[in-house]
């Protein structure tokens, strides 16, 4: 079946602008995760949604970052007032339990 | 919280040799340990995972071993091939439906 999809694949924005990144999980996967991967680095956890439970936001680096998920479907990650240090690949993953399956990521470049 | 360390950061081997990547974790409650392979510009792909109720798991040329007492786990690739060249990440979590804490990655280069 279809895997995790993300859009856009690339986003170039100017410092100070807001951006919205989208993730479509695998159908039937109740858990959805966002990670950030800076160039040449590992993956940093940002936020996790599980069903109707309150999301685990413990990885969000600042209050400029927020995310929403509608039921068990699409999620959007919003970064307000982008900074150059926000430049990274933002990866979404979904799971039924284990393992997590990743999307192709959105490469964000903040000029 | 959980902390995962991974070594080496880079590993160069000749085709046909074996490669071993090691990770240690800090949280004794962690019980799920996946390994992901990431080719340049691509998404991480799961290659093997292990749960804490077993000590070893094999899938063709790939094996993972887990030592719960020492809190470390390792990835073993035998008969390496150039297409094994990629960055490999280990990760840990303390049960299903939990965030993964990743190691910093190992860049494996397999030379023909």
pLDDT in tens, B45-99: 999 999 988 899 999 999 999 999 999 999 999 999 999 999 999 999 986 568 8
User: Are B27 and B68 contacting, i.e. CB atoms less than 8 angstroms apart?
Assistant: no
Q: Taking residues A89-108, what's their average pLDDT? A: 94
pLDDT of residue A33: 96
pLDDT of residue A6: 97
In a mutagenesis test of the B interface, which of A30, A32, A41, A45 is the best target, namely the one with the most B β-carbons within 10 Å?
A: A45
Q: Taking residues B30-47, what's their average pLDDT? A: 95
* Interchain contact B102–A (C-beta under 8 A): yes
Question: At which residue do the structure tokens 């996790």 appear?
Answer: A48
Nearest chain B Cα distance for residue A34, angstroms: 9
Tokens of A91: 């990866």
Q: Which residues of A touch B46 (CB under 8 A)?
A: 99-101
pLDDT of residue B52: 84
Provide the 10 A C-beta neighbour count for residue A25. Answer: 26
CA A87 to chain centre: 13
* Interchain contact B7–A (C-beta under 8 A): no
C-alpha A107/C-alpha A11 separation (Å) is 6
pLDDT in tens, A56-76: 999 999 999 999 998 888 999
Check pLDDT > 80 for residue B108.
Answer: yes
């Amino acid at each position: 079946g279809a895997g995790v999809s993300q859009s856009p694949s690339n986003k170039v924005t100017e410092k100070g602008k807001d951006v919205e990144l989208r993730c479509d999980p695998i159908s039937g996967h109740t858990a959805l995760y966002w990670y950030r991967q800076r160039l040449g680095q590992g993956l940093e956890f940002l936020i996790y949604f599980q069903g109707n439970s309150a999301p685990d936001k413990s990885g969000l680096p600042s209050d400029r970052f927020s995310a929403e998920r509608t039921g068990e479907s699409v999620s959007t990650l919003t970064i307000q007032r982008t900074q150059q240090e926000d430049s990274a690949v933002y990866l979404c993953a979904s799971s039924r339990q284990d393992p997590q399956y990743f999307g192709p990521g959105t490469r964000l470049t903040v000029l | 919280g959980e902390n995962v360390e991974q070594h080496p950061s880079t590993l160069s081997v000749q085709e046909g040799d074996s490669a071993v990547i090691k990770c240690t974790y800090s949280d004794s409650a962690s019980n799920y340990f996946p390994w992901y392979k990431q080719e340049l510009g691509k998404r991480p792909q799961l290659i093997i995972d292990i749960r804490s109720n077993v000590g070893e798991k094999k899938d063709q040329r790939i094996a993972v071993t887990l030592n719960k007492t020492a809190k470390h786990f390792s990835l073993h690739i035998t008969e390496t091939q150039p297409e094994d060249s990629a960055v490999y990440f280990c990760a840990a979590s303390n049960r299903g439906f939990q965030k993964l804490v990743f190691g910093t990655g190992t860049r494996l280069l397999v030379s023909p």
